């Protein structure tokens, strides 16, 4: 269980992020076109999982836009922005904000992602959403970098996450 904060108040997650060096758990998430997506759908690409509570918050929006700009410079890297947001809301956000290089995925049909990745928030005002975290996977879906952001209102460490992805190119 990760102990993190939301605006300074303690909250907990269901578990911990997958260990570096372990095989990433598969998932079933929903894309903007309402199709189910699994980890295998992204093939041998390096994957940056940008896990957020909701794109309707300023920090989550900033992280999606920052990763969108950075991944545009990288071949063979995909950013999967994962939240509990409905695909309609995520699509609207991307269209409004000009986010074109990030794939939005929703946990709307299957809640196992949050459990398997240890990011379900258990208590506090955001209970039921996902905590802010970044996981970088290599082309064979081995975990190469993780960050459980300690304060929900804080941005992830883009430099470290991007360096981990670039080291795999």
pLDDT, position 143: 98
pLDDT, position 10: 96
What is the tens place of the pLDDT at every residue in 88-128? 999 999 999 999 999 999 999 999 999 999 999 999 999 99
Cite the active site residues.
Answer: 60
pLDDT, position 73: 95
- pLDDT at residue 1 greater than cutoff 90: no
- 120 Cβ contact partners less than 8 Å away, ≥ 6 residues apart: 13, 14, 15, 111, 114, 128, 130, 131
Quote the percentage of the chain above a pLDDT of 70. 100
- pLDDT at residue 45 greater than cutoff 90: yes
pLDDT, position 3: 87
Q: Sheet with 133-137: list strands edge to edge.
A: 36-37, 29-30, 102-106, 77-83, 46-51, 133-137, 143-148
**Bridging pattern class, strands 77-83 and 102-106:** parallel
pLDDT, position 15: 94
In the chain, the domains with their CATH numbers are 3-166 (3.40.30.10)
Q: Predicted confidence band at 132 (pLDDT cuts at 50, 70, 90)?
A: very high
**Bridging pattern class, strands 133-137 and 143-148:** antiparallel
What is the tens place of the pLDDT at every residue in 47-84? 999 999 999 999 999 999 999 999 999 999 999 999 99
pLDDT, position 59: 94
What is the rounded distance in angstroms from the CA atom of residue 17 to the CA atom of residue 38? 18
What is the tens place of the pLDDT at every residue in 13-37? 999 999 999 999 999 999 999 999 9
| Interval 129-150 mean pLDDT | 98
């Amino acid at each position: 269980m990760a102990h993190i904060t939301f605006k300074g108040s303690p909250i907990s997650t269901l578990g911990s992020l997958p260990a570096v060096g372990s095989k990433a758990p598969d998932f079933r998430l929903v894309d903007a076109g309402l199709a189910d997506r699994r980890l295998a759908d992204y093939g041998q690409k390096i994957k940056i999982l940008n896990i957020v509570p909701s794109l309707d918050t300023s920090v989550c929006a900033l992280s999606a836009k920052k990763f969108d700009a950075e991944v545009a410079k990288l071949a063979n890297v995909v950013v999967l922005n994962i939240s509990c947001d409905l695909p309609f809301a995520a699509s609207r956000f991307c269209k409004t904000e000009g986010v074109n290089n990030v794939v939005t995925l929703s946990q709307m049909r299957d809640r196992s992602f949050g459990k398997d990745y240890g990011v379900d928030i258990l208590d506090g005002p955001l209970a039921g959403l996902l905590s802010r975290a970044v996981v970088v996977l290599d082309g064979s879906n081995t975990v190469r970098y993780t960050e459980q952001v300690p304060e929900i209102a804080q941005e992830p460490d883009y430099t470290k996450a991007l360096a981990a992805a670039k080291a795999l190119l």
